Amino acid sequence: MRKVLGLVVVLAALAALPLLSGHSDEPKKDRIGDLMKRKLENSQKVLEGLALNDFDKIAHHAEELLTISKEAEWKVIKTPQYEIHSNDFRRTADGLIKDAKDKNLDGAALNYVELTLTCIKCHKHVRETRRTSLDLPPGPRS
């Protein structure tokens, strides 16, 4: 009876291990959703900084956007076009940071618009790519 009870305790402990590991077992979709939410929040803060002429806020949140874009979950799909969009996003965020540090409101505003357009183009690409892959007939894919 003790052996059975000991085995149950060991199995229960092993079953509980994934619960202790935090984000590593969180579904990838949830992590991507969290990342996109952070991206949206920081984008909104950049816009707020632009409206208030607050260059420190613009620079800080543009730097956050750049950091977010370097996280592993950022890479949603593996296509050349996705890489182009990601690189454009980072380049534009860099420009936004530079303009904020130079106190160039017009340049920062233009980079913010370009950053937003890059997001829209990328999200459109991801939706179209996923929709196309769902339309493929079942079978081996390379």
Summarize pLDDT for 82-96 with one digit per residue, the tens.
Answer: 999 999 999 999 999
Tokens 């991507």 -> residue: 32
- Token readout for 142 is 């390379």
Summarize pLDDT for 51-75 with one digit per residue, the tens.
Answer: 999 999 999 999 999 999 998 788 8
What pLDDT is attached to residue 3? 62
> Is residue 32 one of the residues assigned to a domain?
yes
> Is residue 11 one of the residues assigned to a domain?
no
What pLDDT is attached to residue 22? 45
> Is residue 99 one of the residues assigned to a domain?
yes
What is the pLDDT of the chain when averaged over all its residues? 83
What pLDDT is attached to residue 138? 55
Domain count, the chain: 1
> Is residue 87 one of the residues assigned to a domain?
yes
Q: What value does the mean pLDDT take over residues 86-109?
A: 98
Q: What value does the mean pLDDT take over residues 106-114?
A: 98
What pLDDT is attached to residue 2? 64
> Is residue 18 one of the residues assigned to a domain?
no
> Is residue 141 one of the residues assigned to a domain?
no
Contact 95, 107 (CB under 8 A): yes
**How many percent of the chain have pLDDT more than 90?**
63
Summarize pLDDT for 128-139 with one digit per residue, the tens.
Answer: 998 887 655 555
- Distance separating alpha carbons of residues 116 and 110, to the nearest angstrom: 10
Global pTM value: 0.72
pLDDT at residue 19 tops 50? no
Q: By residue range, what is the domain housing residue 47?
A: 24-135
pLDDT at residue 10 tops 70? no
- Distance separating alpha carbons of residues 96 and 111, to the nearest angstrom: 5
pLDDT at residue 17 tops 60? no
CATH, residue 31: 1.20.120.10
pLDDT at residue 23 tops 60? no
- Distance separating alpha carbons of residues 88 and 115, to the nearest angstrom: 8
